[in-house]
Amino acid sequence: MAKASVRRLKVYEARFGFHDSVVAAPNQKAALDAWGVRQDLFAEGDARVSEDEAAIEAAQAHPGAPLRRAAGSNDPYGLAPNLPDIADAPRKPKPKARATKPAEPPPPPDRSALDRAEADLAELEVRHRDEKAELDRRMAALEKEIDAARRRWRSERRKAEAVVDEKRRAYRTAGG
């Protein structure tokens, strides 16, 4: 009579993202296959043999099937992970719409300061234009005076050069 072989199952645990997972499997390779991963989580230290009695009991009830629960919670393991119960955030009451009369438009701003500033600017422009015209008139008079001085200098220079030439000739004819 053949004895029915009962395989000894170990329970392995690992954390995947936001879930803790356990699986009852005969060896590490079978556990990795059940979780659907190719890398060796045991070698990396991300998976280990479980020592939690509740996890072992739950995994033994569903051999070969990975069971999950929210990471770090004490909820029971299940085939579909449950999210922890979190109270809803308090709701802010909606503000009540009140019937109000429309606000009166503000009075137009006082323009007198702007008008005074614009008048001051216009007066400044007129003074500048008058001052420039006076300077231009004086500049024209100075240019005429410079031209007259230049003509006088040329005339006097020609006369002085003629005297120098005449005296030089007289000096040379005298033997010098």
Sorted by where each begins, the domain ranges of the chain are 10-70, 111-176
Predicted local confidence at residue 2, as pLDDT: 42
User: What element of type H or E holds 30?
Assistant: helix 28-35
Mean pLDDT by 10 residues, the chain (176 residues): 57 89 92 90 89 88 88 80 66 78 88 95 96 96 95 96 95 88
Predicted local confidence at residue 6, as pLDDT: 46
**Per-residue DSSP letters for 124-154?**
HHHHHHHHHHHHHHHHHHHHHHHHHHHHHHH
Listed in sequence order, the residues at least 6 apart from 58 whose beta carbon sits closer than 8 Å to its beta carbon are 22, 67, 76, 77, 78
Whole-prediction pTM? 0.44
- Sheet-wide strand order for 10-16: 47-49, 10-16, 19-25, 67-70
Strands 10-16 and 19-25, how do they pair?
Answer: antiparallel
Predicted local confidence at residue 103, as pLDDT: 84
Q: What are phi and psi of 20, to 5 degrees?
A: -95, 140
Contact (CB, 8 A) for 84 and 73: yes
